[in-house]
Each structure stands twice: as C-alpha cells, then as structure tokens.
Amino acid sequence: MTDKNAAQKEPILVLGAGQLGFSVLRELAPQLDPEKQPLSVLVAPGMTRSEKEMDREIVAQLNQWGAEVIEADLRTVSVSDLADRFRSFHTVVSCTGFVGGKGTQLKITNAALDDGVTRYFPWQFGVDYDIVGRGSPQDVFDEQYDVRLLLRAQNKTEWVIISTGMFTSFLFEPSFDVVNLDEKTINALGSWETKVTVTTPEDIGILTTKIILAKPPFANEVVFVAGDTVSYGQLAAIVETVTGEVFRKTELTHEILGEFLKRNPNDVMGKYRAAFAQGDGMHWDKAKTFNAANNIPTTDVECWLRAHLGDQ
C-alpha cells in the first residue's frame, strides 16, 4: 500500500451485531481511529426503532462505540443494491451467520466483489470448507465452499478467511445433543477418537480484530485459530472431571447418524451432528494456529466449562 493510500480513509463495515458480530465490534471499535477508519454496522430493518430491550441495549452500545448503524434486510436485498451500500467502504466483515438462509453468503460475496471492496472477510467462521467440499451431510456447507471458489477466481478484492471451528458453547447445547449437562449424557459423533476444534465468540472477537489490523496485512489466505481441539473421548473426560459426576456415554456412529437423517431429512441439528462426525475438516492442530504463533491465550473447553458451571 502506498503512502498516499495509507493517508486515505478506510471505512469498515461489519455485517451483523449478533453473538459473533457484537464480540468483534467490542474488540475492534476501541482500536480504530474514527478519523481514518470510521466504523459502521449493518443490522436488520427496524432494529434502531425496536421496542425490545435487548435491541435497544445493542444499538445504544453501538452508538457508544461510535459506530454508524445502518439497516438492510439481507434476505431480500438484491446484489446490486447491496453493492451500492458497500461502495463507500474499504473493508467489509461479514458476521451474519446462516440466519439469512441459503444463498445469502453468495449474495454478500458477489456484492462485495461487484463493488470492488478492497478487503473482504466472509462469513467463514467455522470449519475447513476446503477439506469438507461439497456433499457434506450439512448442506449449508456447500455454499461456504462455493464462496471460496468465487473469491479465488478473482484478484480485485483481497479476502481473508478466519477458520474458528464451532462455538465452544455449541458442544453443550442440548439440542445439538453432544453434552447434556442436565441429563448427564455425552454422545460421541462418529467415534470417541473423532476430533473437533472449538473457539468462544469472545476469543473470536479478539483474534479477528488482531487479524484485521495486522501489519503487514493478511491477504488472500485462510487463517486458522482455535480455543481448543479435542476428541469426543477427551471431551467426555473433561466433563466428568470438572463436574465430578459420571455421565451416560453413547457412541453415535456414522451409521446411526445416517439412519436418523434418512428418517428426518430436514432435521437441522441432525445434519450438524452427521457433519461433525466426519472428522476431516472439522479440526486442526491448535499448536499451528494464529493464536499459538502469537502467544495469544484462548479459552479451552475445561476453562469454559468451569466458568459456565460457576455462573450457574
């Protein structure tokens, strides 16, 4: 980047202020010079006028951070209209998740590329879609792979993908049915040796901010981070050690998970369970991550669980 370009404003737009977006904004906003890198946040229509207490608190916090709040419905907005909104921004960071439905991530990516956004961080805060490819039991993963193909097919917009694994808390989500703390059950997906990488949204916010602001900047690459990488067997040992209780443990083999999906083809959690049973692409070595290379501490499963149980 030339000195002339460095002196220009580089506005940043974050898409979404949900669990992940809010974590990113909390870390990013205080580190930006509003004169050089003004911050904006795109939220759902009506949020700034919402009567819901949570919405009002989020908007108030965004205002306190000095972020301009703009609204758009990512489900219905066209690629061209979205590109028009992106036109005044140097960097776009997508923290929208899958709530927009199928096609949303490709729409956002096409809008970013059509408008020639300088830097784009797509919603890829998840698994290694290069390894997963198409045809995963969780069909929303197909689009994530297609986003990568789209990014690599052009050279106008710099992109950075941050792979984080699943949210740590998702392992303990009753509907996901891996660890159920109330029912005292633990289900291994695939096998007890199958591994999974997890990171908390708070750590993702910290690490994403460091990656966005890194000098020299990352460009056209996948950056791996991790709070922890464990096998389901290790997870079971951690849970029983921390709680001091014995859990009922079941191995959900590929055959069991596949049969469930045959009977319930539209079950979203069933798709996720079958996908995370695959192993390949769902984990990586924490020692080889961005946070490990830079000695940035992250929350592992044991620390998360101890903190969670302490809050109850």
Tokens describing residue 48:
């700034």
Of 269, 262, 186, which is closest to residue 230 (Cα–Cα)? 186
pLDDT recorded at residue 243: 97
Axis crossing angle, helix 254-263 with helix 268-276, rounded to the nearest 10: 160
Beta strands in 58-206 (DSSP E): 68-71, 91-94, 119-121, 158-163, 166-167, 179-180, 185-189, 195-199
Percentage of the chain surpassing pLDDT 70?
A: 97
- Would you state the structure tokens that stand for residue 199, as one six-digit string? 């990171």
Instruction: Find all residues with CB under 8 Å of 190, minimum gap 6, and list them.
Output: 232, 252, 253, 254, 257, 276, 277, 278, 279
Say how far apart CA 7 and CA 281 lie, in whole Å.
Answer: 40
Among 250, 272, 249, 277, smallest CA distance to 190 is for 277
Walk me through the domains of the chain, giving residue ranges and CATH numbers: 3-165+200-226+283-298 (3.40.50.720)
Tell me the pLDDT tens digit for each residue of 145-198. 999 999 999 999 999 999 999 999 999 999 999 999 999 999 999 999 999 999
Tokens standing for residue 234: 């290790």
CA–CA separation, 58 vs 184, rounded Å?
35
Tell whether pTM > 0.85. yes
What pLDDT, in 10s, does the model give residues 78-130? 999 999 999 999 999 999 987 777 889 999 999 999 977 999 999 999 999 99
189, 277 contact by CB (below 8 A): yes
Query: Per-residue pLDDT averaged across 64-85, rounded?
Result: 94
Residues in the chain: 312
Please check the confidence at residue 6 and state whether its pLDDT lies above 50. no
pLDDT over 70 at 3, yes or no: no
Give residue 312's pLDDT band: very low, low, confident or very high (50, 70, 90): low
